[in-house]
Structure 1
Amino acid sequence: MVEIRQEIDSDRNELFQIHQDAFQRDDEAQLVDKLRQNVQYNFNLSFIALVKKKIVGHLLFTPLQINYPTSGKSITSLALAPISILSDYQRQGIGSKLIEYALHELKAQGYSSVIVLGHEHYYPKFGFLPAKKYHIRAPFPLANEDCFLALELEAQALPLHDGEATVQYLSEFGI
């Protein structure tokens, strides 16, 4: 049985280890620590998966801007990044449960959209579509544009008539 809750400050060290284990490097773990220092960091956007009271997964959302240079419009959205599941618990559906729960919570909290750079065949099962369908581009070159995806949590949250848009991540992402 998977339990999901929001992050609390005392989870910090365990979460660092989960990201290290899941990615087999420190980059994502260090990114999460950097993001925690940003004034926009919100514990309500950080979700923890537990199995038998053990933390086995983490999913973080952070604010981002979608900028439309032609119209001068800019809208706030969320970035889904990173998501990590301990290697011993991967491929058991925990990540999917974590994403489903978190998206439901975000909708309840009034958030309108989410952007993710991820697997083009995994995220569509949660309703994500290639961001290019919304005329939204990544702020960096991609080998496969279908891996840059968007989800509207609220109908018509992503305007289709304001021209091409580019995502702007928080500076901690180094983009």
Structure 2
Amino acid sequence: MLVGTSAGGGLAAALSLYTRGRAEPSPHAQFLVCPILDDRDKAISTTQFSERDIWARSLNAACWKMYLQDRYGTCDVEPYAAPARATDFSQLPPNYIDIRSAEVFRDEVVQYASNIWAPGGDAELYVWPGGWHNFDLLLPTASLSMAAQQAITNWVHHLFARQ
């Protein structure tokens, strides 16, 4: 199972795209929490949250610029660097995708799940209402955090039961 949170979620998604259909071992599942997937900064949610939020638009842009350098925001970015840029979402393993409603990259993550569903792929998407980046790590005993952890546990149990 490929697992990643935040920027690591974007890297896990990219690796899943990369290994798809290759002779190498392929992942049996993908587990993404708050994945950062798109450098283009065009989703509505990128403008909805202030600079006081835990993960602000300016911080998101700065990280993409450090990662992509001169390619940031250009047509030169491959899906293995920014998975939302992929055009083929077929043949991906089952996905657990977790995003929070008060998150800069909420809409790109919802679109990513929709792109997986379009060719008939398997994605279980959770958008936690009122949640922000890593809320479950900062407030692990909050009821929303516990619900998020239970959803993960349920998905993993369901995944193993299918195998």
TM-score, length of structure 1 as denominator length: 0.30
Report the TM-score when normalising by structure 2: 0.31
Q: Which has the higher helix share?
A: 2
The structure whose residues are more often strand, as a share, is 1
